[in-house]
Amino acid sequence: MALLPFYIPGKRRIKIIIVGGGYAGMAALMTLKQYASNVDITIIDPSDHHLKITHLHETFRYPLTDLHVAFSKLETRFNCKHIKASLAVSDAMLQQWQTDKYLVIGDEIVDFDYLIITTGDESLAFEPVDNVLTLKNFIHTAGSELILKHLKTIADDVPVVSVVGSGATGIQFLFEIRQFLCRHKIKAKLRLINSSDTVLKQFPRGFDTYVQSRMQEFNIDCVSQVLYRAQSGHTVILETKPTGEITELPSHLTLLFAGKKQDQLWTANAFGQMIIDQQTLPNVFVAGDCSIYKSLGSNVQSAQSAVRKGKLIARNILRHSGFLKILEPYVHHDIGYVVNLGPTDAVGWLVTEGNIVTGLPALTIKEIVEAQYDLLLKGIDTYIV
């Protein structure tokens, strides 16, 4: 068994439920299995597979199934159990679960010693429109299939494709679509619709400078300081932020990445234990995009932070279940971040936010980070605690 400081296991087996099979949930599962053999783990997730959701833009190049890891394989590999179900979570339920130490899933009662909530955070919802795609569409269908299907229905010789949202998701989709259109020799006009005056505003200024230069090089239009309001036929309706003026632009296909809802974020202490009504729930832990830790560590909604939180709470659950109960605070800070600009280009920072890397060096960093996670899913942990 690998060394886990302050963990002295007891004699009985520990029952743990993980609600949500995303990055944080998988990191918790692998870490629990890495450090302890006396754990029984149940994963509750409505899907048949874990999805590497941060790679969805790559489905313009690769099959969507390349991003799937079947829970059935994980059950065999890590001797855990998957229950295919959705679970509604509320403050009152969490408090009750802390007291009862069991969940009711359909007709099944599942006991636990520890409960982990890693349900993620939902995207903002808009009225569904035929020629508007959101991240949910790409979860179920590959990007290449979706865009070809929609472009075939457009009679215009040069259709306009708009991407709404200049965060990492929107930018990565924008450049993947550009490369896809070139590869298939499809004539189309690309446009970025941006609510800010810069792109990737959550990152160092050098990101904006580099991305804007690449957009100019590829003749990608950028409409800034506007808010998406609706899509009507082949027209996107926008509101200018400074004046509130409503404008309309042609858009035969619109990809909408407008951010995430912030209405179900759970607060946790520095050790990852849930806090409800100012009371700590010692046996209920939370990680991933749905969590805000009261600590010095990073609460950025990213796969990197989700994995680190998932690993931390797994270690703390084992410590809490032992004799000493000395828990580890969350102090992780991101050591870099890379945004893909198509298959051959990227921009990122490493070690310090002032250290901007672009092109092949940035791609290399991203590939190393992605390889780490792929190894983790196979039970090989190369992360530095």
Decide if pLDDT at 3 tops 70: no
pLDDT, position 4: 78
**% of the chain with per-residue pLDDT over 90:** 83
- Whether pLDDT at 260 is above 90: no
Collapsing DSSP to helix, strand or coil, 103 comes out as strand
Q: What is the spatial distance between Cα 200 and Cα 207, in angstroms, rounded to a whole number?
A: 7
Q: What amino acid occupies position 171?
A: I
130: its two tokens:
């035929």
How far, CA to CA in Å, does 209 sit from each of 191, 197, 353?
17, 12, 14
Which of the four pLDDT bands, split at 50, 70 and 90, describes residue 287? very high
CA distances from 67 to 32, 62, 86, 147, 242 (A): 23, 9, 21, 19, 41
Tell me, what's the pLDDT at 250? 96
Residue 308 has pLDDT above 90, yes or no: yes
Which residues pair with residue 108 across a beta bridge? 105
- Average pLDDT score, the chain: 93
User: What's the confidence (pLDDT) of residue 149?
Assistant: 93
For 123, which DSSP code? B
CB atoms within 10 A of CB 369: 18
Distance of CA 324 to the CA centre of its chain: 34
Q: What local confidence, expressed as pLDDT, does residue 1 receive?
A: 43
Percent of the chain with pLDDT over 70: 95
Q: Give CATH superfamily name and number for 14-122+261-333.
A: FAD/NAD(P)-binding domain (3.50.50.60)
SS3 (DSSP) at 362 = helix
Q: What is the pTM of this model?
A: 0.93
Mind listing the pLDDT tens digit for each residue in 129-172?
Answer: 889 999 999 999 999 999 999 999 888 889 999 999 999 999 99
pLDDT tens-digit readout, 338-364: 999 999 999 999 988 899 999 999 999
How far is it, in rounded angstroms, from Cα 224 to Cα 139?
28
Beta bridge partners of 374: none
Assign domain 132-256 to a CATH class: alpha beta
pLDDT digits (tens, 9 = 90+) for 67-125: 999 999 999 999 999 999 999 999 999 999 999 999 999 899 999 999 999 997 665 55
pLDDT digits over 207-239, tens only? Answer: 999 999 999 999 999 999 999 999 999 999 999
Question: Rounded distance, CA 118 to CA 45, Å?
Answer: 10
**Could you count the other beta carbons within 10 Å of the beta carbon of residue 158?**
10
Nearest one of 51, 90, 97, 87 to 71, comparing CA atoms: 51
pLDDT at 228: 96
Single-letter code of the amino acid located at 344? T
Question: What are the residue ranges spanned by the domains of the chain?
Answer: 14-122+261-333, 132-256
Identify which of 159, 192, 197 has the alpha carbon closest to the alpha carbon of residue 174: 192
Do 132-256 and 14-122+261-333 have the same topology in CATH?
A: yes
Shortest CA distance to 205 belongs to which of 52, 2, 347, 56? 347
